[in-house]
Amino acid sequence: MKEYNRTFPLRNIIFKSLIVVLGLAIAYIIFIALISINMGFTHLHQDGFWVPILAGLISIAICLWILISITRSVINRMKDRDIIDNI
């Protein structure tokens, strides 16, 4: 027996595209942070060379934490069928 009440999985597509867009934005921020770390290591002879290194490392840590927490939240919403069907 076929199910004719099955809807197009638009919410799952939106959730997956949200993860992809977030991943691209985080990748861009991490790329800029890596450039900052590189600039810090290339200017070791100057005072305050540690500031771009520390800023880059903190930026990478915060971005990875945000990416992991949002991805975990989205995956949990995708697994919980009751919440997706009732929204």
The answer to whether position 40 is within a domain reads yes
The answer to whether position 11 is within a domain reads no
The whole domain housing 44 covers 23-86
* Average confidence (pLDDT) over 8-29: 87
Q: How many domains does the chain have?
A: 1
The pLDDT of residue 14 is 84
The answer to whether position 5 is within a domain reads no
The answer to whether position 58 is within a domain reads yes
The pLDDT of residue 51 is 96
> What distance in Å separates the CA atoms of residue 35 and residue 57, rounded to the nearest whole number?
11
The answer to whether position 2 is within a domain reads no
Return the axis-axis angle of helices 50-79 and 10-42, rounded to nearest 10°: 170
> What distance in Å separates the CA atoms of residue 7 and residue 40, rounded to the nearest whole number?
53
Q: 38-85: per-residue pLDDT in tens?
A: 999 999 999 999 999 999 999 999 999 999 999 898 888 877 655 455
The answer to whether position 80 is within a domain reads yes
The answer to whether position 65 is within a domain reads yes
pLDDT at 36 over 90: yes
* Average confidence (pLDDT) over 33-42: 96
pLDDT at 3 over 70: no
The pLDDT of residue 81 is 57
The answer to whether position 63 is within a domain reads yes
